[in-house]
């Protein structure tokens, strides 16, 4: 058991350990919270289990164990926040600094990824009108629906949460205008995350109409995304855990992808491996296709059983705390054909070329060019795609693809601590043959590191 899986505890004074096996019981000494604390030690580590927690707001907990009159205070935060308050504050400060550079007085944040990154707020309620206001002075107000009121208080550090009421004539955009007016937003300039799944074209038009002649709006969809692309040590820890879960899923697939296997069983085992490891649902469905559908790279409904001689393409991601590590494989059922062996060699050669190119200072587009060069030189240009991967991080449905993407001419500079998914997709429709190895890497000081422990060898199960 890890204490971070229960709740975040900050000790404000030194802790005097109790003896191994000794239990300490106590009750809180302040009103508004009912809880009982049990503590025990094992190998000099003390774990605490707090239950029947009625209030989720941050407050001190004064516990007096049996036989001890002086005991430290414990600061208790909602257990669904997965970063320290200091790291979240640093992210918001960097966002504010970038806002000031762009002469913005505040941000109207509609992307769920941005809300999670800046505050810890975790929900799928972004499919409705939902906006987080962040002022240049650090002020935050969240406008959301009643279903997300407690969600916001439990999973974020946002104190000011407002609710717009559902109804046939609901006008959340006007509620947002009132909030901006409260914060002195009249005639100010605000950045807006227009590239957000929740801010539909209809809601966007209503937003602009409501704020017309009140304030100025500028598209700042890229502002937080550009900050999110460089991962912190804590974020990289979650990505590495996600990669471990992705490897576990591949091990399940390698065992189950045999003649007669049902695709539904394969999917269940792969996703189950992620859940058993403490992981999350990914940003989009696992992709599975066999036979002629092995040439598809999107999820679709309908399952089949594998033939004695077959092929199956899988694309999936381990997800942990919403951080993704994606992988991709084409597994051969029965003996591999000459074409499959040839395509596998070209694809893995392309992967090696891309990893050699992916280093700090390179342009993202250079990585695609490496993929295209190897594939085209092998005479397989018509079988490749026009992109060969993208950034990964904390992303929400409907997909796990993040900014930036590997395509020709993309000028974004590669930097250390970026995380990318590299997929070398080859689909030969003439021969009904696919070969699609893919893996997640992190950019290091002088190159990149593959986060998977699984080899790219051609898998053929008889």
Higher pLDDT, residue 346 or 39: 346
Share of the chain above pLDDT 70, in %: 83
From residue 277, how far is each of 122, 241, 242, 243, 281 by CA, in Å?
A: 20, 9, 9, 11, 12
Q: Is residue 183 scored above 90 in pLDDT?
A: yes
Residue 454's contacts (CB-CB under 8 Å, 6 or more residues apart) are: 247, 250, 251, 327
* Residue 73 pLDDT > 80: no
Model confidence at 323: pLDDT above 50: yes
Note the Cα 384 to chain centre separation in Å. Answer: 27
Confidence category of residue 462, pLDDT binned at 50, 70, 90: confident
List the single range of 65-79, 321-335, 418-432 with lowest mean pLDDT: 65-79
pLDDT tens profile 189-203: 999 999 999 899 999
255: left (phi over 0), alpha (psi -120 to 50) or beta: alpha
62 or 157: which leads in pLDDT: 157
The set of residues, in sequence order, having a beta carbon less than 8 Å from that of 443 and lying 6+ positions away, is: 358, 359, 360, 414, 415, 416, 417, 418, 419, 420
The pTM of the full predicted model, rounded to 2 decimals, is: 0.83
What local confidence, expressed as pLDDT, does residue 198 receive? 85
**Contact assessment for residue 430 and residue 291, using Cβ atoms and an 8 Å cutoff:** no
What is the structure's pLDDT at 79? 54
What average pLDDT does range 323-348 have in this prediction? Answer: 98
What is the chain's length?
Answer: 462
Q: What pLDDT score does 343 carry?
A: 98
Confidence of residue 80 (pLDDT cuts 50, 70, 90): confident
Determine the number of helices (DSSP H) and then strands (DSSP E) in the chain: 10, 23
Average pLDDT of the segment spanning 35-55:
32
Q: Which of 44-48, 86-90, 430-434 has the lowest mean pLDDT?
A: 44-48
pLDDT for residue 59 is more than 80: no
Per-residue tokens: 362: 């390179």
∠ CA(78), CA(83), CA(87), 5° rounding?
Answer: 125
pLDDT of residue 114 exceeding 60, the answer is yes
């Amino acid at each position: 058991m890890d204490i971070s899986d229960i709740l975040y505890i900050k000790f404000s004074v030194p802790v005097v350990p109790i003896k191994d096996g000794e239990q300490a019981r106590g009750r809180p000494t302040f009103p508004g919270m009912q809880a009982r604390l049990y503590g025990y030690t094992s190998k000099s580590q003390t774990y605490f289990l707090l239950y029947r927690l009625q209030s989720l707001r941050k407050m001190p907990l004064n516990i007096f164990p049996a036989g001890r009159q002086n005991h430290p205070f414990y600061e208790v935060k909602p257990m669904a926040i997965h970063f320290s308050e200091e790291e979240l504050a640093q992210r918001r400060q960097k966002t504010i600094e970038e806002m000031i550079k762009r002469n913005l007085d505040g941000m109207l944040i509609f992307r769920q990824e941005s809300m999670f990154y800046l505050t810890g707020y975790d929900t799928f309620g972004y499919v409705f009108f939902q906006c987080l206001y962040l002022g240049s002075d650090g002020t935050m107000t969240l406008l959301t629906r009643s279903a997300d009121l407690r969600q916001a208080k439990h999973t974020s550090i946002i104190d000011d949460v407002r609710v717009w009421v559902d109804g046939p004539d609901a006008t959340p955009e006007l509620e947002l205008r009132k909030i901006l007016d409260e914060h002195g937003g009249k005639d100010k300039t605000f950045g807006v995350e227009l590239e957000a799944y929740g801010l539909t074209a209809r809601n966007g038009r209503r937003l602009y109409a409501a704020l017309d002649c009140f304030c100025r709006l500028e598209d700042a969809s890229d502002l937080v995304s550009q900050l999110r692309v460089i991962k912190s040590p804590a974020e990289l820890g979650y990505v590495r855990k996600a990669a471990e879960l992705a490897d576990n899923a591949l091990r399940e697939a390698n065992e189950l992808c045999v003649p007669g296997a049902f695709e539904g069983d394969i999917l269940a085992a792969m996703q189950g491996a992620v859940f058993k490891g403490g992981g999350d649902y990914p940003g989009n469905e696992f992709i599975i296709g066999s036979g002629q559908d092995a040439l598809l790279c999107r999820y679709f409904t309908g399952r089949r059983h594998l033939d004695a001689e077959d092929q199956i393409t899988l694309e999936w991601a381990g997800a942990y705390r919403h951080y993704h590590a994606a992988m991709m494989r084409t597994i051969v059922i029965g003996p591999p054909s000459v074409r499959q062996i040839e395509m596998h060699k070209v694809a893995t050669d392309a992967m090696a070329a891309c990893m050699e190119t992916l280093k700090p200072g390179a342009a993202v587009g250079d990585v695609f060019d490496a993929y295209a060069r190897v594939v085209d030189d092998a005479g397989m240009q018509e079988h490749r795609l026009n992109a060969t991967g993208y950034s990964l991080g904390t992303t929400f449905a409907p997909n796990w693809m993040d900014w930036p993407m590997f395509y020709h001419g993309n000028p974004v500079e590669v930097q250390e601590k970026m995380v990318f998914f590299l997929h070398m997709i080859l689909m030969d429709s003439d021969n009904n043959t696919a070969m699609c190895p893919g893996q997640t890497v992190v950019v290091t000081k002088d190159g990149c590191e593959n986060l998977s422990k699984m080899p790219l060898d051609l898998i053929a199960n008889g």
